[in-house]
Structure 1
Amino acid sequence: MINRVVLVGRLTKNPELRYTPNGVAVTSFTIAVNRPFSNQQGERDADFIPVVVWRRQAENAANFLQKGNLAGVDGRIQTRSYENNEGRRVYITEVVADSVQFLEPKGSRNTDSGSFASTAPSPSDQRGGYAPANRQSNGQGQSQGTPSFDDPFANDSKPIDISDDDLPF
């Protein structure tokens, strides 16, 4: 049997850290995941999925994640039930995370305008990565000069203004 869930979304509120009577850390939060299609009004709906994280990963999530942060969750679906004060059986479905990935560098989200700071490395930081060689030939099949990077965001320290609607997730 396979029970595997992989989600990428934004936290709807700050994570809640608690400890069991035995001292085991447990954090819960809700992650909003956009659906890949639009409804009849042309709007994109989202699913709000409860996530539970245990032990060290719970402490890390509580300390480093906050409302609005983009996070990746890898885990399994779990259902449980309990009897409420009115004597009714309540069923809960949640994701128990094995791993939580912080998908934004700390402090990269500007909470005032919703824009993101550029975190792209400058050409001098790229080692062994993308480096198209725009060199001039010396007429003998050899190129001269230094490589030129065609990165439109290089040498520009301004934040990139991207709407959440423009992102594919």
Structure 2
Amino acid sequence: MTPSPTAAPAATRPVKPPLRRTPLTLLLFLLAGFASLVAVLAAAIVIYIGQDAYKAGHQMSPTQAVDGLLDAALNEHDAPATDKYLCDQVSVRDKIHDVVRQIKTFEKSNPGTFLTYEWSVRKVWQRRDRALVTAQVHARTTASGSSTNNPEQKWKFSMRNESGWKVCGLTIPAN
């Protein structure tokens, strides 16, 4: 019998040395991850704020603009936020800022008393880039758990489309 030739051992692949994980490499990796997270969060915040500001300044309908203005003034009590819904009419700006100031003064001078507002907005007339809108504004005063309904008021708004609808005229009935 002839001896069978023994199989030659298979060639072994060279083993790559493991990556060196030095403290500096780990630190750089963590810093890159943190910087990426901050960049993504910053982008999300900028997009959110930009989109909100764009919507406020570019209302697609006169009724949306009036609704946004009333919400900013009567619910949020934010006079600077109302400016996004207004034309460059100083008299209208002063009038709506005065409403916000009166609400803040009333609530500050009467602790525990709150004013809540509801309204319904209706477009009366529109032609091209001009419109008239009315809103029935209803106020409720709440103090010590009891509510008092105040008389409803009819506010009138003159609107103009300036790359988005803006309030250019405002009539509020005297109390």
Shorter-normalised TM range: under 0.3
Select the structure that is richer in helix: 2
Select the structure that is richer in strand: 1
TM (norm. structure 2) is 0.24
Question: Which is higher, the Rg of structure 1 or of structure 2?
Answer: 2
TM (norm. structure 1) is 0.24
